Structure 1
């Protein structure tokens, strides 16, 4: 690593740690509120918000400019809250904080945990998406979560450590070849893997999202076909402040004797249909900053 890059990465890491230290002394609820207030003031003015506006207009052209702008502002509020909550992520897994997460369909997760059947838990960048593996741990699902390696190695190491502490040691699975081998091992052990599948995947499969061509992660569908495990869609909603509702939807399963590639495409499309439905319900809680379609 070049010295210039190392120094820049250290500065970024120091700034992150300082910000989260400030959020940490505030307490969870105040940190969530402060993060949201700051982000909704600053975020819409940033250049990256142009992508969010363009994405919203492309996905939902029926919305007025005022509605688009309201979604952008509220999206930043949710993102700022999520950042503030990072300083307290471990708290969500504590018994005394269970009132913060209402799990609709928890019995289905517990039944899968007891059956030790293995599976893939899928969602998107909704509300505070970091709670997905936390809920898996709370409901007894053993396994891991897939994550994208941060460009800053110091930030990446810190994030991996934070997620491990918050989930009681869930396996952290980087995207890529090494991570794929870990996923295969977990599937063979009848364990569970959490994935956020709403980002563009250039080497994925072609599906539709909001009627638009969208290169989509094929891994959940491929695992369902290969290992005969369910793909379980999970929605994440912010109720008020740092309180959430996690909803477990009916699993998507591979059909016996179906042609594997066609079945992979079908399941990938069903996952995208699920994501689109959740986005339409609460568009302000999805991260529109992704370069999803181009």
Structure 2
């Protein structure tokens, strides 16, 4: 990292030591700045919501947007808190339902794909690994150009033993590792793919959406087990993560069936708490019939 990045990283570690009461006061301040002063990606957020939530009135969309800024700010400070949070504290703030599915797949000697969306706070899934019977948990991620953020994510996700696996290396690693029930792969499956990599599209939140389907191909080829991580905000700073099995309609998954079922579950999850999804990313920047 560059010198200025090291200085900022040290500042992050100082912020991480603050009690949650102070962190959430800082979060309130940041949310106000993002919403009313910087107006962070407001046009993108409002446009995404209008297209995805056509039954919502303008007043309700403004309400969801206001709550979204608060949740986004909470996500930032909660993520920074992971630099110092111990496992016991996280256990009090994240409630898991469906851990028995991991135990079942471990006994069947099948590796697991855990598919999640950008629902706050997905980073607190770092507390999952020590609770599982599997030996190793991997987080598949796409590195970004800022070494500061990469270092932050590597530090946070590795605190309880999760290995960060860059997207470019993930296919080879997945194909080489034995399907022996000892490995869990966490995948944020709702990212916007590069235009040249779109191989499949489906209806999602009232729009035709280009999606990554690499996890679908690998899971079918390796005969892995699939879980969806349904994330709900119980109250501020407390979450329920429910694991839902994704199973084939017939004896085997047909092509793209996993992707279709994942996005169907994700849509239900988002509509249950629409302010808790990352509306600020340009999820529909590539349009069917124009870009793919």
Query: TM class, shorter-chain normalised?
Result: 0.7 to 0.9
Q: What residue ranges of structure 1 are gaps of 5+ in the alignment?
A: 1-5
Of residues 45-54 and 187-196 in structure 1, the stretch that sits farther from structure 2 once superposed is 187-196
Please name the residue that 1:290 is paired with.
Answer: 281
Please name the residue that 1:143 is paired with.
Answer: 137
Structure 2 contact 138–162 (Cα < 8 Å) conserved? yes
Moved over 6 A (4+): none
Shift of 1:23: 2.4
Choose from 13, 23, 33 the match for 2:15: 23
- In structure 2, do the counterparts of structure 1 residues 29 and 135 end up closer, same or farther at CA, with 3 Å as the change threshold? farther
Shift of 1:266: 2.2
Shift of 1:254: 7.5
Give a deviation string over 1:63-88, Cα, whole Å, max 9, x none: 11111111111111111111111232
TM-score by length of 2: 0.85
Give a deviation string over 1:227-279, Cα, whole Å, max 9, x none: 11122111112212221101111223484466xxxx23222111111111111
Task: Tell me which protein shows more helix as a share of its residues.
Answer: 1
1:43-54 alignment, distance < 5 Å: 43-45=34-36, 46-54=39-47
Of residues 66-75 and 43-52 in structure 1, the stretch that sits farther from structure 2 once superposed is 43-52
Alignment RMSD, CA only? Answer: 2.4
Please name the residue that 1:3 is paired with.
Answer: none
Please name the residue that 1:182 is paired with.
Answer: 173
1:179-218 alignment, distance < 5 Å: 179-186=170-177, 188-190=179-181, 191-202=183-194, 203-204=197-198, 205-218=200-213
The separation in 1 between residues aligned to 2:81 and 2:279, in whole angstroms, is 24
Give a deviation string over 1:171-217, Cα, whole Å, max 9, x none: 211122x2321232345454211101112113142122123111112
Q: SS at 1:238's partner residue?
A: strand
Shift of 1:122: 0.4
Please name the residue that 2:236 is paired with.
Answer: 241
- In structure 2, do the counterparts of structure 1 residues 189 and 161 end up closer, same or farther at CA, with 3 Å as the change threshold? farther
For this pair of structures, how many residues does the alignment match? Answer: 278
